[in-house]
A and B are shown apart, each in its own frame.
Chain A
Amino acid sequence: MLSRTADHLFWMARYIERAENTARMLDVNVSTSLLPMSRESAERGWRAMLGISELQPAYDARFDKLTPQDVIEFMVRDPDNRSSIYCCLQAARENARAVRGALTTDVWETHNDTWLQLQHHLQGELLERNPHEFFEWVKFRSHLSRGVTIGTMLKDEAFYFIRLGTFLERADNTARILDIKFHGVAESPGALPAAQAQSQSQSQGVEEEPYLDFYYWAAVLRSVSAFEIYRRVYRDVITPSRVAELLMLRGDMPRSLLASISDVCANLEQLRNDQSAETSRRAGLLRAELEYGRIDDILDTGLHAFLTSFLKRVNDLGQRISHDFLVPLMVR
């Protein structure tokens, strides 16, 4: 397959996955912000959302102050924000269009139709009237694009590059969703910021914070469609460390880091060429660490530190994949 074609397929999948996860993150923030809480807490949530996507400077350049409406505007429909849902869905569609011959008609039409429908939604009032419904729509279109890929594409290189893009992006995004809570909070080893918040609120009197934490982690679970799964797996109250375990180390949890990296490995295996051995090795090593890691050990060294390092390694994998397969191979 042409390197350029592989590149377009890989990024087509990454962008639609990114759009989905941005929708998931925004949805969490919208629903937690409905809880009674101080302005500072609410603002911290939105700020973390921007920080985790590395978009705070771009946002500040456009808006004077931080309001939920503006953050949503910025993250959904801003054509100058390369990470906005608008830009991601456009990029997914443009990548698909560039290689529509390598896709089944069904896959191409799904991406094209998503793009056409998005414009319709953004012209209408859906986002203002019911943001949750809009975010659900984004998720649904992403589900649809994955489903139509699996349901109609020949299992050849094109398919594996699409899947590789999906899972690499998902690994990155799930890590970011988990990390939101810790973003901008100084971390002490062995303690989850949640616990800090709780101890603070105990000393300062109980107005809002104690139950907030429960709702926050419940929202994180919901954002990755894992709330019911959590109940089924643990049959117990929601604790941050179990949430972290579920979303990081459970191989049977489809959006977890382990599941995503395992899928990265499996697809890399299908695609391997003369120069990709080192990339496979690094991906395999990362999978082994997640597969055999224990949540207590990770929490001891610090969750934020772990996630930061994880994101770096995912980024490294992305660059290596690009070097091994996607950048036009020069002959020597």
Chain B
Amino acid sequence: MSLSTFNEMYAADGGVRSHYREFESWLSRQSDDLMRLKRAEADLTFRRVGITFAVYGESAGTERLIPFDLIPRIIPAAEWRRLETGLRQRVTALNRFLHDIYHDGEIVRAGRIPAESVFGNAQFRPQMKGIDVADGIYAHVAGVDIVRADAGEYYVLEDNLRVPSGVSYMLEDRRMMMRLFPDLFACNRVAPVEHYPDLLLENLRSVAPVGVDDPTVVLLTPGMYNSAYFEHAFLAQQMGVELVEGQDLFVQDAGVYMRTTQGPKRVDVIYRRIDDDFLDPKVFRKDSTLGVPGLLDVYRAGRVSLANAIGTGVADDKSIYPFVPDMIEFYLGEKPLLTNVPTYRCRNRDDLEYTLQHLAQLVVKEVHNAGGYGMLIGPCATREELDDFTRRLRANPQNYIAQPTLALSTCPTYVESGVAPRHIDLRPFVLSGKEVTMVPGGLTRVALREGSLVVNSSQGGGTKDTWVLGR
């Protein structure tokens, strides 16, 4: 694959970009041995602290480390300011969209988005129609995936509005960097991110049901064998709220309660890290043991808040994604500040034909899938894979979108042979409640395999600390 890529640290002429200069000169003074020791120390610490994730498909309880890279991803202050404004705008529009489609559906009636894509969408939850959620906020936590391509252009790749994860790695990566290299933070003015749990708690408290002054917030986890369990436990602890499983909660007298050693205790806000499908076996999947029977009734009655709301999946669906710029114009009357990746919706005959003809240059994704599963990267695919996807596209075109293969930017990264460029992305976390807040930066994921564009931890990706430099 020969794509010219944007290197975060080095300009095309080989010079160090100005915002990396301080770091690069520091790095050049560190010996290889020292850095090797520091890498070992980081691994040991992550293992001892138990910052691990479970791998599905391996035997229960298999825990792995997410590889952590010592070279940070650095973003200049001005660039971050543009991103932040754009994110604020985008997530606000998405929340307006969700409120709209579960109420009057104006954007559909105005002909800006086809009704079929919204109301016929598997992620649309008819149970949410006409329900008023606190402050009209649906996506309280959004993890927007941003990539950089071409000459350094930022693109939004995905709006994750269901139960985005990874923020604990953002926080732990920072903690680790400060522990390993305190001197680095003395000479670089890195914007802090450690107050994220405070922002999150404040955000969750702000969306409590009307009339609740001192809300009880809990974090609902599927349990310790979930791949993101560490993050659930971590956030609950950092916020000082109970980490509950479905079995700890029950519904009575139109309220949600948790079972405690001192009897039942009322719950007001549930930061749930369980998918819609598993939330309430009375309404969604009957076989779910992770949820709380009767939860939806209480929720619909406005007597408990869920973050994120039920039914947000329709807004981050890949078939809706191409319409987000339209949403921004429609709801906010503004020009979109962040750029979408051009997207071919294979349900359209023309787009399908284009996709089939250019399959070897495109990335094809299933509309409902996430986590890097069910994806074809044309330039890296074998003949068999291309043929296979051609068949699948013809059989079920509405299930796919296609996008040009972006030459994701790279960042120098430690690999077996030394330091080499590897592709990265960025996931900032945007909190929406009474107001929209975020900490500067986000989680930078890195594809550790040479040439790979897949950064997901389930597919062998690693992480880097992300620095937004002070002015």
Tell me which of A78-86, A93-101, A220-228, A292-300 binds B: A93-101
**A329 contacts partner chain B, Cβ-Cβ < 8 Å:** yes
Verify B48–A4 contact, CB threshold 8 A.
Answer: no
| A-binding segment of B96-104, B205-213, B256-264, B331-339 | B256-264
CB <8 Å contact, B264 and A2: no
Q: Is the CB of B237 within 8 A of A113?
A: no
Whether A3 touches B233, Cβ cut-off 8 Å, given contacts A109-B49, A112-B48, is: no
Chain A residues with CB under 8 Å of B223's CB are 98
**Cβ-based interface call for A116 (8 A):** yes
Chain B contact residues: over half helix, strand or loop, or mixed? mixed
Most chain A C-beta atoms within 10 Å of own C-beta, residue among B234, B236, B261, B262: B261
B359 nearest CB across to chain A (Å): 45
Binds A, one of B238-246, B292-300, B402-410, B457-465: B238-246
Partner of B247, one of A97, A109, A328: A328
CB <8 Å contact, B259 and A116? no
Given contacts A100-B233, A331-B257, contact A273 B263 (CB under 8 A): yes
User: What's the Cα separation between A161 and B260 when bound, in Å?
Assistant: 13
- Asked whether B382 is an interface residue with its Cβ less than 8 Å from the other chain, the reply is no
B260 near A1 with CB under 8 A, answer yes
Q: Verify if B50 is at the interface (C-beta below 8 Å from A).
A: yes
The reply to whether B233 and A116 form a contact with Cβ atoms under 8 Å apart is: no
The reply on A230 being an interface residue by CB < 8 A is: no
- Cβ contact of B261, chosen from A101, A105, A157, cutoff 8 A: A157
**Given A2-B242, A4-B247, A271-B48 contact (CB < 8 Å):** no
How far in angstroms is the closest Cβ of chain A from B297?
17
Given the contacts A101-B233, A108-B50, A109-B49, A271 and B247 also touching, CB distance less than 8 Å: no
In the complex, B252 has a CB within 8 A of chain A: yes
Q: How far is B247's CA from A68's CA once the two chains are assembled, in angstroms? A: 44
A25 beta carbon closer than 8 Å to chain B: no
| CB-defined contacts of A2 to chain B, threshold 8 Å | 242, 244, 248, 258-261
Task: State in angstroms the CA–CA spacing of A94 and B233 once bound together.
Answer: 13
A325 at the binding interface (Cβ < 8 Å):
yes
Contact with B along A1-18 (1 / 0, CB 8 A): 111111000000000000
A252 sits at the interface (CB 8 A): no
Cα A99 to Cα B262 in complex, Å, equals 18
Whether a CB of chain A sits under 8 angstroms from the CB of B349 is no
Report which of A1, A97, A325, A329 forms a contact with B224, defined as CB distance below 8 A.
Answer: A97
Q: Are A3 and B224 in contact (CB under 8 A)?
A: no
CB pair A3 B261 closer than 8 Å? yes
B50/A112 in contact, CB under 8 A: yes
Q: Which residues of B contact A5 (CB under 8 A)?
A: 242-243
Residue from the list B50, B234, B252, B259 in contact with A328, Cβ < 8 A: B259
Decide: A329 near B263, CB < 8 A? Known: A4-B245, A97-B224: yes
B47 within 8 A of partner (CB): yes
- Give the complex CA separation of A109 and B257 in angstroms: 31
- Scoring A6, A101, A105, A273 by chain B CB atoms within 10 A of each residue's CB, the highest score goes to A101
B284 at interface, CB cutoff 8 A: no
Taking the closest CB of chain B, its distance from the CB of A58, in whole angstroms, is: 23
Partner of A113, one of B48, B236, B262: B48
Partner of A101 from B47, B236, B257, B259 at Cβ < 8 Å = B236
Interface residues of B in 246-297 (CB under 8 A from A): 247-248, 250, 252, 257-264
Question: A40 contacts the other chain (Cβ, under 8 Å)?
Answer: no
Give the docked Cα–Cα distance between A161 and B244 (Å): 18
Q: Which residue of A lies closest to B250 (CB)?
A: A331
- In whole angstroms, what is the CA distance A38 to B223 when docked? 53
Q: A328 and B248: CB pair below 8 A? A: yes
Assuming A98-B224, A331-B252, is B48 touching A3 (CB within 8 A)?
no
A331 to B252, CA, bound (A): 9
A236 within 8 A of B: no
**How far does the alpha carbon of A325 sit from the alpha carbon of B61 in the complex, in Å?**
28
Whole-angstrom distance between the alpha carbons of A328 and B61 in the complex? 25
Q: What's the least CB distance linking B178 to chain A, in Å?
A: 16
Q: Is A331 a contact of B264 with CB atoms below 8 Å?
A: yes
CA distance A324 to B242 in the complex (A): 20
Given contacts A2-B259, A329-B260, A329-B264, contact A101 B237 (CB under 8 A): yes
The verdict on A274 contacting chain B, using a C-beta distance below 8 Å, is: yes
Query: What is the CB-to-nearest-CB distance from A76 to chain B, in angstroms, rounded to a whole number?
Result: 21
Report the minimum CB–CB distance from B258 to chain A (whole Å).
6
Nearest CB in chain B to that of A115: its residue: B50
Smallest CB gap from A97: residue in B:
B224
Query: For A328, what are the chain B residues with a Cβ–Cβ distance below 8 Å?
Result: 247-248, 259
Judging by beta carbons under 8 Å apart, are A4 and B248 in contact?
A: yes
Q: Which B73-120 residues have a C-beta within 8 angstroms of A?
A: none
Residues in B whose Cβ lies below 8 Å from that of A331: 250, 252, 257, 263-264
Please name all residues of chain B whose beta carbon is closer than 8 Å to the beta carbon of A3 when the two chains form the complex: 248, 259-261
Report B188-208 residues with CB < 8 Å from chain A CB: none
- B261 A6 Cβ-Cβ under 8 A: yes
Task: Write the nearest CB–CB distance from A78 to chain B, whole angstroms.
Answer: 18
Q: Could you tell me if B248 and A97 are in contact, using CB atoms closer than 8 angstroms? A: no
Q: Which residues of A contact B262 (CB under 8 A)?
A: 1, 273
* CB-defined contacts of B245 to chain A, threshold 8 Å: 4
Chain B residues whose CB sits within 8 angstroms of the CB of A105 once the complex forms:
49
Point out the residues of chain B lying under 8 angstroms from A274, CB to CB. 263
Please determine whether B50 and A100 come into contact, CB atoms closer than 8 angstroms. Answer: yes
Q: Could you tell me the distance between the alpha carbons of A5 and B263 in the complex, rounded to whole angstroms?
A: 14
Q: Which chain A residues border B48 with CB–CB below 8 Å? A: 109, 112-113, 116
Name A1's contact: one of B233, B252, B257, B261 (CB within 8 Å): B261
User: Given the complex of chains A and B, what is the CA–CA distance between A3 and B264 in angstroms?
Assistant: 10
Residue of A nearest to B47 (CB): A116
How near does chain A come to B332, taking the closest CB pair, in angstroms?
A: 39
Residue of A nearest to B218 (CB): A2
Shortest C-beta distance, A160 to chain B (Å), equals: 10
Q: How far is the CA of A273 from the CA of B261 in the complex (A)?
A: 8
Expressed in whole angstroms, the minimum distance between the Cβ of B169 and any Cβ of chain A is 16
Report the bound CA distance from A34 to B252 in whole Å. 63
* Cβ < 8 Å to B, chain A residues 145-197: 157, 161
Known: A2-B242, A98-B224, A101-B237. Is A329-B259 also a contact (CB below 8 A)? yes
Bits for A266-277, please: 1 = Cβ < 8 Å to B, else 0: 000001011000
The CA-CA distance from A109 to B51 in the complex, in Å, is: 11
Task: A101-B234, A329-B259 given; name 15 further pairs at CB < 8 Å.
Answer: A2-B259, A4-B248, A94-B224, A100-B50, A100-B233, A101-B233, A101-B236, A109-B48, A109-B50, A116-B48, A273-B262, A325-B261, A329-B260, A329-B263, A331-B250
Q: Would you give 23 A-B contacts (Cβ < 8 Å), ordered by A? A: A1-B261, A2-B258, A2-B259, A2-B261, A3-B259, A4-B247, A6-B261, A100-B233, A100-B237, A101-B237, A101-B243, A102-B243, A105-B49, A109-B48, A273-B261, A273-B263, A274-B263, A325-B261, A328-B248, A329-B263, A329-B264, A331-B250, A331-B263
> Which 8 pairs across A and B sit closest by C-beta, in order of nearness?
A101-B237, A328-B259, A101-B236, A325-B261, A101-B233, A3-B259, A100-B233, A112-B50
- Give A residues with C-beta under 8 Å from B: 1-6, 94, 97-102, 105, 108-109, 112-113, 116, 157, 161, 271, 273-274, 325-326, 328-329, 331
